[in-house]
Amino acid sequence: MSEHKSLPAKAIVLGVSAGGVAALKALLGSLPADFPLPILIVQHTAPDSGNMLAPLLNEMCEIRVKEAEECEAIQAGTAYLSPANYHLLVESDHTLSLSIDAHVSFARPSIDVLFESAATAFGSELIGVILTGANSDGSQGLKKIKEKGGLAIVQDPADALVATMPQAALDAVRADHVVPLEKLGPLLCELLDN
């Protein structure tokens, strides 16, 4: 895989559902402190789940992990988690916004909502990643990222704790990379290496 050329990416969006906490620990824990992009994450959570995941991940990772806030400007080397029961969106000025609009794909936060808003904001300078999960949320958003010229990466369904979501993504788009979770962090670093 050494023939990857450096990408002009400005952000990564990532969607994960069932099995997500372990997947996020593995992926975010594998990234170096100087990781060059922000990562915007929707993890499906119960509406009343509180905000324990971001502090837990922040303790375990070299990059900064925090819960996204309204009107926050995104920064490199930081992972932003959508708060429970809020859609996470990217505005045209690359700040974050939160919404309590209706559920999309039976979810709030919805991966599709984040991916579609980010695709509009970043165009071809976006990487979309779909990990383990038990529904099809994210597949339409990943399709929009591809339509705008961005890069699509999907966890190998055979490697996912729950294969439904990555398989739905693969059914919707031709992914640029299909990899097991353990290879995703190194792949991202390699793709972004100048």
Task: Give the mean model confidence (pLDDT) for residues 30-50.
Answer: 89
Domain covering 11-192 in this structure, CATH number: 3.40.50.180
Which sequence spans correspond to the domains of the chain? 11-192
Alpha-carbon distance of 9 to 36, in angstroms, equals 10
Contact 126, 149 (CB under 8 A): no
Alpha-carbon distance of 57 to 65, in angstroms, equals 6
Which parts of 59-142 are beta strand (E)? Answer: 64-67, 78-81, 87-90, 96-99, 126-130
51-103 pLDDT, tens digit per residue, is 788 999 999 999 999 999 999 999 999 999 999 999 999 999 999 999 999 99
- Check residue 71 and give its pLDDT: 96
- Check residue 6 and give its pLDDT: 54
Alpha-carbon distance of 91 to 28, in angstroms, equals 24
112-150 pLDDT, tens digit per residue, is 999 999 999 999 999 999 999 999 999 999 999 999 999
Instruction: Considering the candidates 30, 82, 112, 137, report the single residue annotated as catalytic.
Output: 137
Instruction: Considering the candidates 17, 110, 117, 136, report the single residue annotated as catalytic.
Output: 17
Instruction: Considering the candidates 44, 105, 136, 177, report the single residue annotated as catalytic.
Output: 44
Which parts of 22-176 are beta strand (E)? Answer: 39-43, 64-67, 78-81, 87-90, 96-99, 126-130, 151-155
44 catalytic per annotation: yes
137 catalytic per annotation: yes
Phi, psi of 143, deg, nearest 5: -60, -40
106-121 pLDDT, tens digit per residue, is 889 999 999 999 999 9
Q: Determine how many CB atoms are found less than 10 A away from the CB of residue 114.
A: 29
